[in-house]
Amino acid sequence: MTATGPATVPVTAALALGDDALVLSHRLGEWAGHAPVLEEEVALANIALDLLGQARVLLSLAGDEDELAYLREERAFRNLQLVEQPNGDFAHTIARQLYFSTYQHLLHAELAASDGPFAPLAAKAVKEVAYHRDHAEQWTLRLGDGTETSHERMRRACAALWRFTGEMFQPVLGLDVDWAALESRWLESVTEVLGRATLSLPEGPRTGAWSAGAGRQGIHTESFGRMLAEMQHLHRSHPGASW
Amino acid sequence: MATAAAQRTARPQADGAAAREPADYQRVFDAAVAADERIEPRDWMPDAYRATLVRQIAQHAHSEIIGMQPEANWITRAPSLRRKAILMAKVQDEAGHGLYLYSAAETLGTGRDELLDKLHSGRQKYSSIFNYPTLTWADVGAIGWLVDGAAITNQVPLCRCSYGPYARAMVRICKEESFHQRQGYELLLALSKGTPEQHAMAQDAVDRWWWPSLMMFGPPDDESQHSAQSMAWKIKRHSNDELRQRFVDICVPQAESLGLTLPDPDLTWNEERGHYDFGPIDWSEFWDVLKGNGPCNEQRLTQRKRAHDEGAWVREAAAAYAAKHTGGAEAAAHETTGAERA
């Protein structure tokens, strides 16, 4: 796959940001018809659509959106391992949303304020992501500070996904961001929200030697291949067709 | 149409100790319906009118919710990002339509939880069409074109239904539905004009969805038990067979411009009637699906119940949080509404 975008757009960065949005959107799409309450059918689909919209703009900067989404193999995807994690129960989905939308909101705010090639896109996305972050925070509070069962489920979900959070702050080629500062703002925010939710910050490593920046280099977790098989099957079955 | 304020002074209200005899209530109601005025939640209405509306609106709401499943079945396999976005937006709209409709039903003194409970226990129905499986991507287009098309033909007259909250919900829903219907048509057109395999996929989908779509208008007029009363109350404006004929007349030229055929050898233009004649519908299949023996009845209801049951702890968490953090205000407000209804 040759990805040829305008010379001013760093393709590596467009793919990293675009793949994050594409893959998380797909996971959220799996919730359709399965949400715990009708309002969440609307909310989760809404977030999935925002992310898909972002993915389409970003992938189009790097090449043809459908070729990039449907014809790359697992090792060519540049998304974070965090966003490809299976939905699990509602608490796992919310923990994944909390970790990612906090990161994405801080990152897009910084990109929007810069004069880099992603500033216009980030300026639009940051408004959507502020809503995603609020949704995740509100549910984190309700689950963490709800019933004993929901507290325990939320605690477990936050702990289970913790080891995927370090990867978010590995520098991405082409994004002029102070990653260390971003990471400390992220930690501060997540600590504060979890605290209000009567939860504490999970313990344990946030990356392993093998996993630091792995998704960005095309090293993914096992469930990702299956996700792509489902996503790409129809498109690949009809080479060259238009839809 | 009278303003809401004028109606309140002119009509006895269900909860008001108006100085009128019960016979007057019926007379004022009948006059309002005859004058094409809207009945509003606080107006007096016959018990049977209320019960019919609850049944119909609830069934309509349930259909939106169950109807998410056959389409959501293809979200993760949509063949382009554009189509995926369109499909996600559509399924999201359906959840929204369900919410409007449950709200409309609630103005009649029932609650969403109660209605969902009746759906889950099989005491209330949803549209039989959603008991058919979506086997290929083209089914998503066939549902948009035919199923949404049939729904719109049914629902546009409901925008003038005598019950105000239902009529107003239908205005909003019909706008979005007609958008979906055009998108479904456009999806099928892309397939029909695509590769031979894509064309065959589109034709196969239309072949499978045509007859079930005609069944969406309900049993023939002489077997429709609720029709006469609903028409007298101006809940319904046209008979099942009239609407079915209107739908066939619309679809035939659309199928021609799609380059697809409809699976009915008896379909011919009748110059004398000014309508298309069409072949007999297999009503045994219709009643069978309605009784729960369609291809997906079991699966659809099981998934709906599972989502509800597995989500119970989430709803309980939200309620517990609200009780802790709003001084029980939300819970208290809910109680008051319930008491007023009772």
Tens-digit pLDDT profile for residues A88-117: 999 999 999 999 999 999 999 999 999 899
More confident residue, B226 or B93: B93
Report the candidate in A36, A19, A38 with the shortest Cα–Cα distance to residue A100.
A19
- Residue B199 domain-assigned (yes or no): yes
Q: How large is the average pLDDT for residues A69-83?
A: 97
Mutation site for B-interface testing, chosen from A25, A39, A41 by largest number of B Cβ within 10 Å: A41
What's the confidence (pLDDT) of residue A211?
Answer: 66
State which of B284, B306, B331 marks the end of a domain.
Answer: B284
User: What is the value of ipTM here, to two decimals?
Assistant: 0.95
Q: How many structural domains compose chain A?
A: 1
Q: What is the mean pLDDT of residues B77-86?
A: 98
Mean pLDDT of A35-41: 97
Q: Is A5 helix (H, G, I), strand (E, B) or coil?
A: coil
Q: Would A129 be classed as within a structural domain?
A: yes
Alpha-carbon gap, residue B48 to B52, rounded angstroms: 6
Residue B86 pLDDT level (bands cut at 50, 70, 90) = very high
Under 8 Å between Cβ of B47 and B77 = no
| Residue-range definition of the domain harbouring residue B331 | 295-341
Same domain, B277 and B157: yes
- Asked if the structure places residue A1 within a domain, the reply is no
CA–CA dist A36, B309 (Å, integer): 8
Q: What is the 3-state secondary structure (H, E, C) of chain B?
A: CCCHHHHHHHCCECCCCCCCCHHHHHHHHHHHHHCCCCECCCECCCHHHHHHHHHHHHHHHHHHHHCHHHHHCCHHHCCCHHHHHHHHHHHHHHHHHHHHHHHHHHCCCCCHHHHHHHHHCCCCCCCHHHHCCCCCCHHHHHHHHHHHHHHHHHHCHHHHCCEHHHHHHHHHHHHHHHHHHHHHHHHHHHHHCCCHHHHHHHHHHHHHHHHHHHHCCCCCHHHCCCHHHHHHCCCCCCCHHHHHHHHHHHHHHHHHHHCCCCCCCCCEEECCCCEEECCCCCHHHHHHHHHHHCCCHHHHHHHHHHHHHHCHHHHHHHHHHHHHHCCCHHHHHHHHHHHHHC
Contact A231, B77 (CB under 8 A): yes
Task: Choose among A153, A234, A243: nearest Cβ to B190.
Answer: A243
In the DSSP assignment, the letter for residue A147 is -
Shared domain for B158 and B242, answered yes or no, is yes
Residues B213 and B322 in one domain: no
Alpha-carbon distance A144 to nearest alpha carbon in chain B (angstroms): 8
Q: In the structure, what pLDDT confidence band is assigned to residue B9 with cuts at 50, 70 and 90?
A: very low
Mean pLDDT, range B233-237, rounded to an integer? 94
Mean per-residue pLDDT, B264-275: 97
Q: CA angle, B123 as apex, B118 and B129 as ends, to 5°?
A: 100
Q: How far is B65 from chain A (nearest CA, A)?
A: 8
Do B210 and B149 share a structural domain?
yes
Please report the pLDDT score of residue B23 as a whole number.
83
Instruction: Determine the structural domain holding residue A168 and report its residue range.
Output: 11-204+216-237
Q: How far does the CA of residue A43 sit from the closest CA of chain B (Å)?
A: 8
Asked if residue B16 is part of any domain, the answer here is no
B316: left (phi over 0), alpha (psi -120 to 50) or beta: alpha
If one compares A45 and B17, the residue with the highest pLDDT of the two is A45
Total domains, chain B? 2
Least confident among A9-13, A91-95, B50-54, B252-256: A9-13
Please check whether residue B78 touches A, CB under 8 A.
Answer: yes
Could B137 and A234 be called an inter-chain contact, meaning their C-beta atoms sit closer than 8 Å?
A: yes
Does A26 touch chain B if contact means CB atoms closer than 8 Å? Answer: yes
Which positions in chain A touch B317 (Cβ < 8 Å)?
A: 142-143, 146-147, 149-150
pLDDT at A3 over 90: no
B79 in the same domain as B29: yes
Q: Residue A2: is its pLDDT beyond 50?
A: no
CATH number of the domain to which A129 belongs: 1.20.1260.10
Q: What is the pLDDT of residues B146-189, one digit of tens each?
A: 999 999 999 999 999 999 999 999 999 999 999 999 999 999 99
Q: What is the pLDDT of residues A118-155, one digit of tens each?
A: 999 999 999 999 999 999 999 999 999 999 999 999 99
Inform me whether the pLDDT recorded for B282 exceeds 90: yes
A48 and chain B: CB distance < 8 Å anywhere?
yes
Percentage with pLDDT > 90 across chain A? 91
Q: Do B267 and B303 have their domain in common? A: no
Q: Best residue in A22, A87, A147, A230 to probe B by mutation, most B CBs within 10 Å?
A: A147
Lowest-pLDDT range of A37-46, A109-118, B324-333 = B324-333
